[in-house]
Amino acid sequence: MKIHSLMVATGIFLVLAGVFYWSEHRKSADESVKASADTPPAILKLNEATITRLDIRKKNEPAIQVVKADSGTWRITQPRPLGADSSTVTAVLSSLASLTSERLVDDKASDLKRYGLDQPAIEVDITEKDNKTQKLLIGDETPTGSASYAMLAGDPRVFTMANYNKTSVAKSLNDLRDKRLLSVSADKVSRIELVRKNQEIEFGRNKDQWQILKPKPMRADGVQVDELERKLTDARMELSGSADNSKEAEAAFARGTPVTTVKVTDESGTQELQVRKSKDTYYAKSSVVEGAYKVGSEIGQGLEKSVHDFRNKKLFDFGFNDPNRVELHSGAKAYFLTRSGEDWWSNGKKMDANSAEGVVSKLRELAATKFPDAGFTKPEIEIIVTSDDNKRVETVSIAKSGNSYIAAREKEPALYQLDAGSIDELLKAADGVKPAATAAK
């Protein structure tokens, strides 16, 4: 009796275990099917780093071939040799490497014509390191117009893919080509030359400091020269797909008035850009790329500036965390200020910080209104500013000249015309420096 009961119990257990296993297995299979149905199938799954060549063909247009060199840079080899825009090529590769569909519309298509895939509008061939090539075919748009039919050659399945995905991979030659007019490295530029009919301006950079070398050595406004450098290294050709527009740009450049010939030097060598103006439009020719191109007005306007626009108009170079010491002589009066941490001292006395900083502020604001060639006579004011942890000493002499003042920096031939009001404010601030208030007992 006991044996019989045990056998019955074992049988019931086995039946229940089987039912449980079948239930869980079915549940897992159902979930897998549901997940598959909810997830659009991938059209392509590639390793972006292994792609070495792209061929893009559009109906009635020349084929475009982009090839990855051993150095890792991309070059356009067809329809003619051109540099490639690395950021655009990278974006195309990224889209192709994980190209997903919206849905599968036919898992075994027998009539490709109904999808426009018998003669696809776009064909993209992707070649990898092992010379394996996959061919993406893109056909007609779907009735809603938001997607297009697509398939891989050799795969009978037909998908729909969003039109933004089509746009991201089906690039034109103008999209893919390098549109820079100069290929120098912005952070490596060491020299810029502007050659004009009546003047030549040359800038040289030592580390992060720009200097005007021609027409004569002068202090440069680093912000202005950096802005010029940015415009040149960012200069892009304005392109259109029309051959007529290219001929028009060539003709406009030929008849244009020369603005400036620019020579830009970095560690790789010197590149040249000729800029001309035809009516109100600027055109350029580069030593880097063939042809003439329309360019933005900001480039031409930047190159039309005079040497005075690039000069440093500030009388002093000390920074906002400086100076360490200020010495000012005006007639019989003399002022001495020395900084220690946040405190200012004069002749052994601690001075009111706000009034001392007022003098520093007025010194920092001194700037030329003009750059005269003469007019400096007997100096009435001398200022010596020590900064950069006592490594830099700037000595300036200032003489009265009519209703204004003329200043000269030590060991520098340039003269700076200063507004009389700025000098009056400086001397007033110096007279207003007072001892620091003592703490109440």
Q: What residue ranges define each of the domains in the chain, with the CATH number in brackets? A: 48-176 (2.60.40), 186-310 (no CATH), 325-431 (no CATH)
pLDDT tens-digit series, residues 257-273: 999 999 999 999 999 99
Residue 23: pLDDT band (50, 70, 90) is low
168-215 pLDDT, tens digit per residue, is: 999 999 999 999 999 998 889 999 999 998 889 999 998 889 999 999
Q: Could you tell me the pTM of the whole model?
A: 0.77
State percent of the chain over pLDDT 90.
Answer: 80
Beta partners for residue 103, in sequence order = 160
The mean per-residue pLDDT over the stretch 91-114 comes to 93
From 40-44, 225-229, 427-431, the region with the lowest mean pLDDT: 40-44
pLDDT surpasses 90 at 63? yes
Is the pLDDT at 244 greater than 70? The verdict is: no
Taking 60 as the threshold, does the pLDDT of residue 153 lie above it?
yes
Can you tell me which residue has the tokens 């028009």?
Answer: 248
If you average pLDDT over every residue of the chain, what do you get?
A: 89
The predicted model gives 294-318 an average pLDDT of: 93
pLDDT one-digit tens code per residue, 354-372: 999 999 999 999 999 999 9
Length of the chain: 441
